[in-house]
Amino acid sequence: MTYLRGVDGGPWDDSDADAPSEGVGEERVMAFGSLRLRVPEGVEVQVAADQATGKISQMTLRDGDSGMQLQPYASRKSGAMWPEVIDSLKSSINASGGLVETVEGPFGTEVLAQVQTPGEGNALQPARFIGVDGPRWFLRAVFMGRGARDREAAARLTKIFESALVVRGVSAMAPGAPIILSLPANTDTTKAAPVNSPDLNPFVRGPEITEIR
């Protein structure tokens, strides 16, 4: 199945005429530099960011016992990168001792995986990867916790993914390079973590997490 971004829905590019500009109901619009999201009340935004610059190294949205990590990446002008990313994910997960398969979902081909949990021996945890290509960018989401397998549990997070608006900018970037995210204005960066923080478990609270409500 081919998901037509901008026709079937988002994520959106800042040049899209039909991109949503306001929240609906209890949603609030949150701007993270190159990424704008419509976030419902009750969903927490947790980030690891540089204290001095406010640049975000990891973003996780949490809805109950479901989590979603989001990251936009630069792409090439000539074509979609998500199919290549899928192949890379499959190889990487298999090589690290995880389990992986591809399925068709609402946004096209998805990767369902059981991935190694850092620091927990050979324990595996479920993860679901989805991605959508835009003009010179692609947006990847990783669903964790209950939302990795239960699509209903991940419904609000999925709507956030679809609401996302990417501001790619005109700077030259290598294909696959992360597009920089930054903390919203008026965020207290004294609570943010350095960019060299270890991998984060979105369901463990600690000093490395900045929560934005």
- What is the predicted pLDDT for the residue at 106? 92
Mean pLDDT calculated for residue range 22-32 = 80
Instruction: Determine the 3-state secondary structure of 161 from DSSP.
Output: helix
Q: With the C-alpha atoms ordered 142, 146, 147, 148, is the resulting torsion angle positive or negative? A: positive
* Range scoring the smallest mean pLDDT among 59-73, 115-129, 170-184: 115-129
Q: How confident is the model at residue 147 (pLDDT cuts 50, 70, 90)?
A: very high
Share of the chain above pLDDT 70, in %: 82
Domain spans of the chain? 25-194
Asked if pLDDT for residue 66 goes beyond 50, the answer is yes
Q: Topology of 25-194 in CATH?
A: Protein Transport Mog1p; Chain A (3.40.1000)
CB-CB neighbours of 138 under 10 Å: 24
Q: Residue 204 pLDDT more than 60? A: no
Q: What is the pLDDT at residue 51?
A: 78
State residue 118's pLDDT score.
Answer: 67
